[in-house]
Amino acid sequence: MVAVLIPSQLTAYTDGATRVQAQGATVDGVLDDLDRRFPGLKFRIIDEQARVRRHVRIFIGQQETRDVARPIGADDELMIFGALSGG
């Protein structure tokens, strides 16, 4: 299971949880698992062309990625942030 940090912008989907566990071997797989449990969450952060949305940042540990095919290990932590979207 991968630990996932949920940003405040998405806690409406997770019943307020800021940290959840999910399954998957890639970023995309983890987000698919989250979307099954919290319907609609994935499309708010990943567009229909599998691109991370402009004002969303995703980290695996300390490494940022914008590639949803990036592999992720069972001990990794996936962190999702909303960042710099203006006033």
12 CB contacts (<8 Å, ≥6 apart)? none
Min dist CB 19 to other proteins, Å, is: 19
- For 40, counting Cβ atoms within 10 Å of its Cβ (0-12 exposed, 13-18 middle, 19+ buried), the class is exposed
- Point out which residues bind other proteins (CB under 8 A): 7, 9-10, 39-40, 43-51, 53, 55-56, 82-83, 85-86
Min dist CB 87 to other proteins, Å, is: 9
Min dist CB 74 to other proteins, Å, is: 28
